[in-house]
Structure 1
C-alpha cells in the first residue's frame, strides 16, 4: 500500500512541475468560432424553411447523416435548389392550404436530407427513394435526376412526390395511431422483404395498391394515402378494376379506414387534399425554378 501511495505522490509532484512553467497562455481561441458564411441558397432556406416551418434542409454532404451501407453520391447545388422549391410548393404548401401552416409547423419533420443518388440494395435489387426516422428526419434520395424529369409528372410522382407523402403519412400515424381494424383486412398477405417479388397485378388482386404495401401494415397504410393523393380518379378506378372484385373490395375497405382516420384524427379531407396536390403538381411547369 505504501509503495502505491509513493507512486501517487511522485505523479502528483510531476504534474505540479509540468504545470508551473513559464509558457505564456494566449488569450486567442485555437478553435474556429465564426459561423459559416451563408450563400444565397442558404439565405433562401432560412427564409422559406427555417423561419416559417423550423425545418433544416441539409444538402451539403455529411456522410455521418446517411446509411453507410449504401454507395451514395452528394446532391448537386442546382438540383437541391430545384428540389427545395418543388417540395415547398407541392408538399408543404399543399398541406398549408388544407390544414393551415400551424399543422405543418407542428408535425413536419425538423430535418430533410438531400442525397444525390438512390440507395440501391444489391441483395434485394431495390432502390430506396426516401426514409423517415422517428418523425424527426426525412431523407430524400435521387435528387440529382430532378432536372431531367421536371416535365414528366409520372416520374416526379414515382421518384419524389409519392415518397414525400408516404413518409409524412408515417409521421402522422406514429403521432396518432390508426385503427387496428386496418391490419385485420389482409392479415395473412403481408410478406415482409419479399414484397419486391410481387407483381403489381398480383398485389392488387390480393388487396394492395402496390407491391410495397405488402411489406407490413404501416407501409400498406402509407401507400394508400400516397397512391391516392398523387393520382387522379381515373387512375384509381383503373387500379380497382385491375384488382378484380375481391381485391377491389379489400382495397376499398382499407381506403375507408384511411379516409376516416385523416378526417377524424387530423380534420383532413383526403379528396380535397388530392385535388390540391394534383393542381399544384400540374403547376410546376409554371414555376421559375432557376431563380430563387
Structure 2
C-alpha cells in the first residue's frame, strides 16, 4: 500500500512539473547585459599612437577584472587619462625609441597593457602602491586623478620612475644580469636584503643609502635593488645622483657604485643602451613637459 501511494505522489509531481514547464516559457533575453561605451577621441588617438606603433593597449576605463579587488579604487578621469597618455608616450616610449633608433625595442619588450586607476592603493601599514607589473604583460598606474602635470618631480616619483622600474624588471627577466650583483650586498645587520620589512629596517632613505641601497625599496631583494638603480638614475639629474652618493657615505657609496657599474654594463652589453645617454634624453624630454599641450589630442 505504501508503495502505491508513493508512486501516485511521484506521478502527480511529474504531471505538475509538466504543466509548470508548459506555462512558464524561458525568456529569450539574457539577464547578463554587456557593458558598452561610445568611442571617444582618446580611443582614436590611442589606436594611432599606442596600438599601431607599439601594439600596446592603454586602458583608461575602469575594469573590475583588471583591478586589484583588495583595494577600494576609483576610475581615472577622462581628462587625466588624456594627459597621462601623452606623457607616457613622450617621456617613456619615445625616449627608448630615440635611444634605440626605432619603435621595435618597445614593441618587442614593453608590457602590452598600461592600466590606469584614478585613486591610490593604500596598504594597511600606511604605504601607498605607486604601480604594479604583472608577468611582464601589464603595468598599472595608481592615483592618476591626483596627477599634477606641471610638477615634473612628482611625475617621476609617482609614475615615470615606476614605469622605468617595471620595464627594467622585464629586461632582466628576459636576459639575466650577472650573479656577482647579489654578492655585493652582504648579510650583516647593517647591509642586507630584508623583503617587505625594508620600511621598518631602514626607517629613512638616508639609512638605506648608508647601508648601500639607492632607496629603501631597493633593500627588498636583489632584483628590486637592480631596477631601482636603473630607474632612479635615468629620471634624476647628475647632481641629484651625486647628492645621494654623498649621503651614502664611504661604505654605502662604494656598494652602490659597484652595483651600478654592473647594471650599467648590463644595459650596454645586453641591450645596447647607454644609461648616460638615456638619462640625457629623459631629462631633456622632462624639461619639455611644461610647454606641451597635454589636453588637446
Q: TM-score, normalised by structure 2?
A: 0.86
Indicate the residue corresponding to 1:111 in structure 2. Answer: 113
Shift of the 167–61 alpha-carbon distance from structure 1 to 2, 3 Å rule, reads same
Indicate the residue corresponding to 1:72 in structure 2. Answer: 73
Q: Distance in 1 between matches of 2:165 and 2:77?
A: 24
Indicate the residue corresponding to 1:213 in structure 2. Answer: 218
1:153-200 deviations in Å (ceiling 9; x for gaps): 211111111111111111111111111111110042101111112111
Shift of the 202–31 alpha-carbon distance from structure 1 to 2, 3 Å rule, reads closer
Q: Which runs of 4 or more aligned residues in structure 1 lie more than 3 Å from their structure 2 counterparts after TM superposition?
A: 28-37
Q: Distance in 1 between matches of 2:143 and 2:185?
A: 32
Indicate the residue corresponding to 1:281 in structure 2. Answer: 286
> Could you tell me whether the CA contact under 8 Å between 1:204 and 1:247 is conserved in 2?
yes
> Could you tell me whether the CA contact under 8 Å between 1:82 and 1:146 is conserved in 2?
no
| Structure with greater Cα Rg | 2
> Could you tell me whether the CA contact under 8 Å between 1:192 and 1:216 is conserved in 2?
yes
Shift of 1:271: 0.2
> Could you tell me whether the CA contact under 8 Å between 1:153 and 1:281 is conserved in 2?
yes
Stretch deviating more after TM superposition (267-276 or 60-69): 60-69
Shift of 1:64: 1.9
Unmatched segments (≥5 aa) in structure 1:
1-13, 22-27
Q: Distance in 2 between matches of 1:216 and 1:34?
A: 41
Shift of 1:117: 1.2
1:63-212 map, 5 Å? 63-99=64-100, 100-123=102-125, 125-147=126-148, 150-188=149-187, 189-197=192-200, 198=202, 199-212=204-217
Q: Distance in 2 between matches of 1:30 and 1:219?
A: 46
Q: When the two structures are aligned, how many residues end up with a matched partner?
A: 274
Q: TM-score, normalised by structure 1?
A: 0.87
CA RMSD of aligned residues (A): 2.5
Stretch deviating more after TM superposition (135-144 or 193-202): 193-202
